Structure 1
């Protein structure tokens, strides 16, 4: 199931429901690209403000989808520097152009579909006892296979001429025809004649736009593939009694430097990461500490701890002198203890 994740400045991913951003939406800036305007639903505060960016070639469907993220669109006041009528006219012109530009790509896809139909004609679909041999399956694969790479002669060896989308499709059909479906061919040709009009394109038999589309799809697929951290065994949480002593306001102050098994300098948090060499241990203030539990995340076997660097979410200011970063487990235990002392304090009773 899809879920919303937050990526921090260290490129670590956390579930949105457990991240600090979920509690401070009013202090966050959200940017939704075109893909994430679909299926994304945030519960924004009432005073939240939003804007839709207009890009080159923006179509009606993409504009409406983006505007639907603003649930209260039209219920507030704003300063419109551009007339809405002008925007809609411009968007509809882009939509018409995008529809026309996509006609010859749609027709090209029909050729691929017709090739698959032709490949499956060798099967008798009414014979349920038909035995599919290895030779039949190999022939099916060969007949359905499309060239992944086009040589330069095929790409650029033909003269560029101005042609209508119907003429482009007809030339490609004749170039690659190996007994394709006549019925589908006639239906596609009729649609191109009805909607293609007399507008022409400067194109070749196989234009380079197909290759660019393939490259863009490959780049988008590579961007979607995220490198996940390796599987690891988490450390069992430990609660030292010195951590609970931090709540005792009437006891003598703890000397944190004499408790190395519980408290460490903040630079120890970067041990095992690539940042440790750049952390400059001597440049940090001496009153910045982490607990050993904050540092313990996984049972390491020498691998890099970059993906497992714990985010500094829980901070304790000890006697107004020391700043200590805690693990979530320690913070959860201390919150109950601090609440108990707060309820017993004289100022609370007054």
Structure 2
């Protein structure tokens, strides 16, 4: 220490040393423990740390950023203040915000933990207007008539789960194949499909072997192997469903149940089943706890706690076997249930279904079995015999209110009628987890069931209270939000409550006081539970007017004299206006503002002529979407090639090459520049790899052998940015032939988008590398 020494240590050694002193204390070795702790404190006070490979050592900061709902300013700074070449780059931000939304904001937890397929959500094929997105369900297999989920990522995830669980129909698969056949990447994409379809017959493992016109063959032999294939489902949703049906508007005017409870000239009277939800009532609505009704909630619970009520554990296999083997007795003559029109009907032994009230069973319910599902346990009133016993099956997220409403269908409960709660293994586990520690080891009882339902009620109230706060405060809401606006860290909920509490508006104070009644209130997940009904067509009358691109005049072709000199001599004039570095053609696009595009052009060894670069007369802002498509030749325009053809044939220094970018691994590569030359060459010329790389990038080639990004993970010889850009490398480890000073990934993505008319390139070599995927030898097996 006196000589300013340096300790070279691994991160694991430092952390282990911090713990070993505490471990010595716990083992009773106080002397060694005290010495180690004092040494650690000395290092904390008298030393400074220099951390190498900080992106790895500070990975806990990234983990906290994407998993903690409320991050501190220091934790935010560790991730976001990492400099232009650090982790928080433009290409990484959307992924980072999305991960934070899925994890820290609880989107994944909400979708998997609070929603059940075909119970809380599913598909609705009968809805008008039709939709192929997931919609809310009122009960099992009973979709709502008009409502939809409000949060876009909840819609996307629930829709994915619907098709993962239910599979694709024949019409969905025909639509997917029709779309696939119209793309350039059909062969590559189809190969990814069959990787997850081991049961697909070998005859149909090539796209050419599938005849969509033979619908019977497709339905019987091809589609069964692809119906539940995750890659096919993802393709169908990402290319057909989501682009068409996922929609958001800049703003929305919202109204909720709170608007019904506003103060008017005459009082509004409302009825509630229980007092459990009084904390969710609008501010102007007062709950009247009438003295003669105060005992009813406790009375129902007392009825359920009576000794004759019990709990039965039903394994799924035993339940199915029991129902299959059940035989009705002669005293049972019919079954009462509610049909699809919510009418109470009865089914007799002859199989005839008729309304209960007009049947012979209206006054003979003692001869009938009664089946009520969750959707019909409210408002259904049947006079059942006094000795009846009800089996109440319990599912996830059953609150006390819903449980009591189901049980109270037995109007004489506690006075002869009884119930038995039937639970599955999943629900039994949740009941055991929620009950007090004093009940550990005991059999599940009715009191445990009631305790669990009360806990579920509290959890539901927590979520709905934060949602009610949004209803109370918001009227005009921003609907269309990017990932940064929706998920970037914001103020903690405590700060939001303190702002409301200190507001001069007394109604804001009331909202804050009500929220403070609940501990651990989370506002960031409130919108996940929101459902909405859109009102669009009744208010909108529109006449569609298609705005086409403005007409432009073509630039007249012109051959600069320096081009004729170049063809004759092969000499490039340094300051000539006849040609320019190739990548300067794209200097006007948005992503080029932060990148010096001349860095990608080497030492002026890849040039384009002025006639090639200028295609139309531009009256306004520059637009590169009308750039000459690199299809036949490079460097010169087709007009120049035609006019200079006689001179090129006689030239001994210039050769005209035919070139086309490779957009599919099924195409042969032409970047060797030997496909067709004018004049013909007795032996191939050697072209520098760096020049070919520039040519391929400029033309938008999507399948290539090399790109100026890292091809392997970082080692001790180089430093990589989060998008794979090589920040620093030793001479022997130089991982790129091109050497821009900042990451060219956003710029290259924009070029490929222009060259491919906005089509996806995710299945190509370049598309994978620009997304940060390292390619292996197997990716080039088809080259």
TM-score range, shorter chain: 0.3 to 0.5
**TM-score normalized with structure 2 length:** 0.18
| Higher Rg of the two aligned structures | 2
